[in-house]
Amino acid sequence: MFARRLSPLRRSAGAGAAANGRSWAAGRPRAIASGVIPGVPKKLEDIVKLDLLEKADASQVLHVWATHHAEKAELAGAAAEAAEYETLVQRGAESPSFVWPVRRDGGHMMLYSQYAPAHQMFVYTFLEDYRRSPELSPPWMSVLLFDDLLDTKGVALLRAEALALTHAPHPSTGAPGLTPWGA
């Protein structure tokens, strides 16, 4: 699923065409105001000035990372010590595909995740979308793992990127509930 399309912006026009001749992105949000596109791998130096973080001590790195993500609703930043980071990577490798039941008001929703070790990233989609069409299920959220500062600062940085949720009905089923699509 995701491993074949982790970088949707680099696909050729014909590679993503659906059987009906429509683009692979048809029906998905075309622009995201914040610039966040879940499922696209990134490097730490694309997000922050890595050379400045390398000069700072660990507590300053954590402060900069938290401040950078503090006021962005579609982003979350966290840090992990070496043992926590290794556990995440190990469990991702052991169970690269995983189903997550998530409680919410009035029931639950099911998310499907896939770990992409080459990009150190977990990508999430709605299980219903994945069951309907694994190749076309849109990424809803991704969690990127950055180990660039692990050896020097003893900390790995994590970044979650998600599409904003609305209370609009699901575009294909019309079912009410939380969806990443606007009305």
Rounded Cα–Cα distance for residues 114 and 97 (Å): 4
Q: Is residue 104 part of a domain?
A: yes
Split at pLDDT 50, 70, 90, the class of 1 is very low
Q: Is residue 27 part of a domain?
A: no
Tokens 């299920």 identify what position?
A: 137
Number of domains in the chain: 1
Q: Is residue 81 part of a domain?
A: yes
- Strand order, beta sheet including 75-81: 75-81, 155-162, 141-146, 121-126, 107-116, 97-104
Tokens 């043992």 identify what position?
A: 83
Q: Is residue 177 part of a domain?
A: no
Q: pLDDT digit string (tens) for 81-135?
A: 999 999 999 999 999 999 999 998 888 889 999 999 999 999 999 999 999 999 9
Q: Is residue 13 part of a domain?
A: no
Which DSSP helix (H) or strand (E) runs through 110? strand 107-116
Q: Is residue 181 part of a domain?
A: no
Residue 74 domain boundaries: 33-162
Q: Is residue 170 part of a domain?
A: no
Q: Is residue 153 part of a domain?
A: yes
Q: pLDDT digit string (tens) for 50-73?
A: 999 999 999 999 999 999 999 888
